[in-house]
Structure 1
C-alpha cells in the first residue's frame, strides 16, 4: 500500500539512493564535527552547521521551516529529545497541511479536466454513432459496440469509472511535474487521494453497500437490480458490479494492459499469436455437421440464459481519451482501442486492404486499473456485469428500476408488459418498438437491396441485445406474452389483487420457470451427467456465504461455447415442419438485427418451429465455427465483417484471463505440459502440433479456444474444463440466491408442486399458433416421432396462487 505522504522518516542519503532527490521533504541532521550540506536545494536553503549545534531543517517546494536547538551540552538529554520531537511534529503538521491543501486543489482541477475530456468524448461518440446510423454507414464493429453500449444506471457507472481513470492519470502527471527529481513520484498517490477522486467522480457509491432496510417487499420479491438478495453482502449478484475473479487477472503491465498490447513482449518465453491467425488456422470450417441429438433451441436458449446473467458493457467512446485517435480508423493500441491485427497472408488483407479489425475494450469497473490501492483492494483492472447474476428473467424485465417501469404498461393498473400498438402477429401481441429517432435495426433496405422498403425499429425488451437475431426475438416474444397471460389468469383468480401485486407475482413465477428449465432441461445436456450429478443435482439449500456473482471466466470464455453451436441459417418452417415456401430460411448474418423479418415475414411461429424442429450445429475439432460467424458477422452490406472467434479470444486477453493450463489446474485437471500431454488431452496429434506451432507452449493457449476444442465429456457438449467452469458457476448462482424457487418460504409446497410441471412445450402452446411440438423442445426428433399435440400437454396449474379470501390488510 502506498505510504501516507504525511508520514516522516529519516533516510540516510549514503545508504538510500532515493534520498538524493528528497526535495519534497528533506531532513538534514548534523552532529558534532559534522560539516554537511543538503544536496539538491537552493543555496539560501542550505543548513550550515557548527560543531556544537544540532539543526533540523525541513525542505518542501512550498515550506521551509528551521528549528535551531542549543548545543546538547546545555540541556538534558530528555529535554533535547522533547524539543526535537516537538519541532519535528510541528514542522510535519505544517508541511502536511500545506501539501494537503495543494493536493486537494490539484485533485479538484484534475477531476474537472477529466470530466470535460470524458464528456467531450462521450458527446462526440454519441453524435458520430447516431450520424452513422442515420446515413446507413454503420459498419460491423459499430454494431458490436452499439449493442454493448452501457445504458441507464450502467452508463452512469461506466462514466464515473472513466472520470476516475482519466482524473487519476491527470493528477499523477501533475505530481510528476512538481516532483521532477523524485524517481517515485507516482507512488505519491495515496489511498486518501484515490478516495477523494472517487468521491468527486461518483465512483464511491459504486463500492458502497446499499441499505436494504427501506426496500419494499424485499423478503418476498426481488429488487430490479438484484441488490439486497443477500442481507449481509447486499451488493453480491447485483447489476453494475465487477465480475468475480476465481483466479488473479494477468495483464501485460500487471495492472490494466492486456497481453498482446505490445506484440513484441513475450509470455512464458513466447510471443502470443494474432487471434485472427489462430482463427484462420484452427477455427476455419469448410462444412457444417448437424447435432444428431439436440435442436437449435439448445443454442438459442443458451444465449437467452446468457443474456439473463451476463452483459459486459464496452466503452461508449470511439476515440481515445489521451490522443483523440478514432478506433475505427486506426490500428494503434490506445485506450479504448485494442484492434485485432490481420495477418499479411489473410485474404482480407489483400482483398480489402485492411490491416486490422476494430475492437473496443470492455469498460473498466470503478476504481480499477490505476496504480495505487483503492477500497482495500489492489486496483488491477476489473470489468463490470451490467445485469443481475441471478436467474431472474432480467432480460424480460430489466436490471434497474427505471427500465422495469419503462417496460410496463402503466396506462392501467393491471401489471402488464407493453406490447406493440401498430402490428399484430396473427392476432397475438408483438413486442413493442424501441422509441428512438435513429434506428440501428433499419437493415431491410440494405439486406433486400431495396431502399424503398418499410423499416421498423428494434424491439423494446429488458435486455438491449434482444433484437440480435430472430431466434432470440422469438423467445423474447414468447416470454413477454407468457407474462401477460399469467397476469390475466392471476387477476381472474384474485380480482382483489392490484396491478403491482399481479406484476410481481407473475415476474416471480417467470423467474422460477427459467430456473427450472435451465437446471432440469438445459444444463444436463451441456455439462454431462457426471458433472451435473456432482455439482447440480440435489438442491443443498441457500448459503448466505456463497457469492453468486458471475465470474469473469464464465462470461468471457466458458459460456461462450454456444457460439460454435449455431447453424449458418435461421430456419423457418411451415405448419408441417417443412421449409417455409413463402419465407425461406435466411442466412444467419442476414437474420441479425432484422425485427422486420418478424413483423413482415410470417411472425414468430415459423422461426419457433425452426428452433424446435431443426438440429443445432455440432461442435467438433473438424467443424469449429461456420463462416457465418467467422467471416460474415454483422455484415449488412459491403462492409468488412467481424470474426466472432477472434473477438472471443481478444476479449479474453482484454479481460486479463489467465491461460489454458491455469484453468485446468483450477478445476483439478492435469495441465498439458508438452506435445505428448497436449495430444493426450485433445486426443488429436495434428491439432496439438498446430497449437504448439502457434503458441509455443500450452500455457499460452487462449482459454476460450482451449476450452472449445477439448473433446466432449460423456453426454455433454463441452469438454471437461468448460464442464467444470459452467457447473461451478451455476452451483454458485443457485446456492447464493436467497429467492431461489426451491428455498424454504419462497413458494408454498403446492406452488412448488405446480412449478415442477413447467414445460417449454406448454409455454409455446399457450402463446403461439403452433398446434404440435416436440415433447422436449431441446431433443431433436423428426416430425411424426416424439411430437405431441398441444391439447395433450397439461396446462400450468395456477390454483395454488388463489387467495381464498381477501387479506385483512
Structure 2
C-alpha cells in the first residue's frame, strides 16, 4: 500500500515484544474460554492467576522464529547522556518510558470478551455501537467554526512534531515466508479482503458500503488494522497496545528510538547526522506525512548541524561521540523549553499550567526529578486526548506566493524542493496562517481523503480511525453530557449511541466547552496536563534538573533560556522577519515589524565567540520614552516586540553564547578585546560579571554615537542594566536591540 512505502524494517525489540505479547494474549483468551469466565470477570480472574510466570514458561510459549525477549538493560548511574531507546532513565525501573513497551492505563480496558475482542454492542447489549464513519459524518464533517483569531497553524505543527517524539502506535503486521514483517492485507482498494487472506485476525475494516461519498466511488470498506500487541512481561491479561518509540521528550523524531535507527542516521564524523540516510533521513518514519511536518524535521536537523559546527570550534579536542551527544542534549533542551514555555500554556491555559507545575523556571537549576513517576505514555493520551490537534489542521498550507493542498501532498517530500514551498516558506507560512478551532470538526481532507493519492477520489477518514482506536468517557446521562458540551451535540450522540456510557472519549472530549485560557475542555485538558507533568517529573535528564550525572551549568542554562522558537527559525531558515511568538498571530503582537539594516559593521573577537540562535528584536522610536531629568531611556513593552532577521550571508548571527559550553573557563575579570573593523578602531572592553562576552554584531555607528553602547554585553534574567555616564548623554537610538523580557535602562556616554 502507498502508506507503507516509507516504513523501516522492524527493530528486534519490537518484534520480540509483539511475539511474546500475542502468545500471552492467546493464553489469556484460552484460559477464559476454557473456564467459561464471563467478560466482566475475565480481568479479575486473570489478575488473581497472575503471579509472575517463570522465565522458562515464556520461552516454552515461543514458537520457532520468535526472538528472545529483550533482557533487562544494564544501567550505569554515572553515564552522562540519555540512552537512545529511553532505557535506564529511571534506574529503579529501567524500562519505564523506553521504546517498545505498553501504554499505561488510567482505567481498565473494555473489550467485548474482557480480553481482546472489539466491542460491537453497547453496555446494555440492546443496541449495536454505531459505525465510526457514521459518528464522524454526523459530528465532525463540515460546519467548522471560524479559525481562531489569536493562534497560528504553527501550534498544530508543533503539536504534531511533539506527538512524533513521544507516541507511535504501530499497527499489527503479518509475517512472510522469510519471517519478515509485512502489512496486513485488509480492505485493498476499498474492497473487504479479510475473508481471503491469512493472518487477518487484526483486520477490522470500517463498513462504508452505505456511505454516500465512499459508496459512490466504489468503496465498501475503509482499511483499519488493530494496533500491535504489546508484551506483558510474561503476565496474563487483556490486550495492551505498544508504543514503539520513547515516551520522553528526547528528540527521538530527530535521533531515533532504537540503536539501529540511530546508527543509520549518524555520519560518525564530527558528530554530524547523515542527511542522505535511507529511508527518510530522520528519526521518525512518519516524517513525510505532510510537507510542513517534513519542514519542521529539516529545521531541527539544521539546528543539530549548526551546534556541532560551533561546538567543534570551541572544543577542538572533542571526539565524534562527545560532539554528537552534547549537540543532542542542547537540541533536546530547546525542544523541552519550547514545548513547556510557548506551546502548552496556549493549549492548557494558565490555571492548569500552575496546578500541574508545568512552567519552566526562569533562573537557576532545581530538582525536578521524582523516580516514583512513570513517564510512559497513557493509552487515553495517545489514542484520544492528544489527537485534538487533528481539529486544528487546515486544508491548505501557505508557502511564499504559492499554496499547497494537503490532499495532494501526503507522503510527497518533493514539494519541499519546489519554488515557494521550501521548508522556510512553509514554516513561515504556518506562523502567518490562522489555526482552525479546537472543536468537533475536521477539514474534509482529513475525513474523506487522508493519505489518498492525488489521483484517488477518496482516502481514509481520520476521525473514524480515531474513534475505532480509543476508549470510553462516562457521564450519567445525555442531558448531563449536554451541559459540558452543547445540547445539539448531546442530541446527536443520543441518536448514535444507546447509552451515554458507550460514547467514545475522542468525540465527546472534543465537544466539551474549552477551559478559560485553553483550547480544550476539562477531560482532554486534564489528561494532557497529567501526561506532560509525568514527562517532566519522571525524566532524570530533564534540562533543568540538577540531580543528573551532567547537569547544565547555570550560565549554560541561562543561555538556553534566552532562545525562543522564533530565534531558532530565524537563524536556520534564513527568514527576513518573524513575530517573536510564532504560535500567536500578528494581531496579538502589535509592535510593527522592523528589519535589520542592510549593512552591518563587521566585528571580530580576538577570543572566538560562537552562538546558538536567538531572536533580534527591533522597536520603533515611538516605543521609547526619553527622560532628560534622569538620563534614562525606557522601553515599556519589550515582550511584544518583533524579530528581524537577515540571511546568514549578510553576516547577521543573533546570538546566545555558546562559549559557556567550552571546556576552557572564561574569567570574569579578564578583558576581552574586540576589534571593530568599521570604523578602524580597536576598543578594549572589560565585561562586568555576569556579562562575560560582548555580543556581535550589534554596533552603534560613531557619528553621532561615538561609543558602542554596552551591550553588546548580554542581558541575563529580569534586571536593570545601568552604565555610568562621565559626559553629557544622548538618547538611545531606536534601532538598538533589547534582549529578554525586562525594562532596559541605559545611560550612554560621549567621548
Indicate yes or no: 2:396 matched with 1:569. Answer: yes
Indicate yes or no: 2:443 matched with 1:626. Answer: yes
What is the match of residue 377 of structure 2? Answer: 550
What is the match of residue 392 of structure 1? Answer: 250
Q: TM-score, normalised by structure 2?
A: 0.71
Relative distance call for 1:759 and 1:690 in structure 2 (3 A) is: same
**1: CA distance between counterparts of 2:359 and 2:299?**
29
Give the unaligned 5+ runs of structure 1.
Answer: 1-128, 130-137, 177-185, 368-373, 420-431, 436-458, 574-579, 662-670
Which is further off, 717-726 or 628-637? 628-637
What is the match of residue 166 of structure 2? Answer: 309
**1: CA distance between counterparts of 2:521 and 2:223?**
31
Counterpart among 336, 339, 356 of residue 202 in structure 2: 336
SS at structure 1 position matched to 2:80: coil
What is the match of residue 613 of structure 1? Answer: 432
Counterpart among 329, 342, 352 of residue 217 in structure 2: 352
Superposition pairs of residues 257-296 of structure 1, within 5 angstroms: 257-260=117-120, 267=124, 269-286=126-143, 289-296=146-153
Contact 1:528 1:714 (C-alpha < 8 Å) held by counterparts: yes
SS at structure 1 position matched to 2:429: helix
Contact 1:148 1:314 (C-alpha < 8 Å) held by counterparts: no
What is the match of residue 473 of structure 2? Answer: 660
What is the match of residue 571 of structure 2? Answer: 766
Q: Structure 1, residues 531-583: CA drift from partner, whole Å, max 9, x if none?
A: 1110033576211111110111111000000000001111112xxxxxx1xxx
**1: CA distance between counterparts of 2:148 and 2:27?**
52
Question: Which structure has the larger Rg?
Answer: 1
What is the match of residue 525 of structure 2? Answer: 723
Indicate yes or no: 2:643 matched with 1:788. Answer: yes
SS at structure 1 position matched to 2:353: helix
Aligned residue pairs: how many? 576
SS at structure 2 position matched to 1:471: helix
Alpha-carbon shift at residue 605 of structure 1 (Å): 1.7
Superposition pairs of residues 81-230 of structure 1, within 5 angstroms: 138=2, 143=3, 151-153=10-12, 155-157=14-16, 160-161=19-20, 164=23, 191=53, 194-198=57-61, 206=69, 208-213=71-76, 219-230=79-90
**2: CA distance between counterparts of 1:150 and 1:161?**
19
Relative distance call for 1:805 and 1:357 in structure 2 (3 A) is: same
**2: CA distance between counterparts of 1:149 and 1:688?**
43
Contact 1:309 1:387 (C-alpha < 8 Å) held by counterparts: yes
Alignment root-mean-square deviation, CA = 3.3
**2: CA distance between counterparts of 1:378 and 1:161?**
11
**1: CA distance between counterparts of 2:185 and 2:307?**
51
What is the match of residue 126 of structure 1? Answer: none
**2: CA distance between counterparts of 1:155 and 1:204?**
10
Contact 2:288 2:410 (C-alpha < 8 Å) held by counterparts: yes
Counterpart among 322, 341, 349 of residue 501 in structure 1: 322
Relative distance call for 1:564 and 1:148 in structure 2 (3 A) is: farther
Q: Structure 1, residues 696-736: CA drift from partner, whole Å, max 9, x if none?
A: 22211110111111111111111111110000000011111
Alpha-carbon shift at residue 354 of structure 1 (Å): 2.5
Counterpart among 657, 666, 675 of residue 478 in structure 2: 675
Counterpart among 709, 726, 730 of residue 511 in structure 2: 709
**2: CA distance between counterparts of 1:212 and 1:254?**
37
Counterpart among 327, 349, 353 of residue 528 in structure 1: 349
Alpha-carbon shift at residue 207 of structure 1 (Å): 6.7
Q: TM-score, normalised by structure 1?
A: 0.66
More helix by share: 1
**1: CA distance between counterparts of 2:9 and 2:128?**
34
Alpha-carbon shift at residue 199 of structure 1 (Å): 5.7
Contact 2:566 2:581 (C-alpha < 8 Å) held by counterparts: yes
**2: CA distance between counterparts of 1:538 and 1:465?**
29
Contact 2:14 2:100 (C-alpha < 8 Å) held by counterparts: no
Alpha-carbon shift at residue 630 of structure 1 (Å): 0.6
SS at structure 2 position matched to 1:507: helix
SS at structure 2 position matched to 1:788: strand
Relative distance call for 1:326 and 1:557 in structure 2 (3 A) is: closer
Alpha-carbon shift at residue 266 of structure 1 (Å): 5.0
Indicate yes or no: 2:113 matched with 1:253. Answer: yes
Superposition pairs of residues 294-693 of structure 1, within 5 angstroms: 294-317=151-174, 326-328=186-188, 329-330=191-192, 335-342=201-208, 344=210, 346-367=211-232, 375=234, 377-410=235-268, 413-419=269-275, 432=276, 434-435=278-279, 459-537=280-358, 541-573=368-400, 580=401, 584-602=402-420, 603-621=422-440, 624-636=441-453, 637-638=455-456, 640-652=458-470, 657=471, 659-661=472-474, 671=475, 673-682=476-485, 684-693=486-495
SS at structure 2 position matched to 1:570: strand
Contact 1:149 1:316 (C-alpha < 8 Å) held by counterparts: no
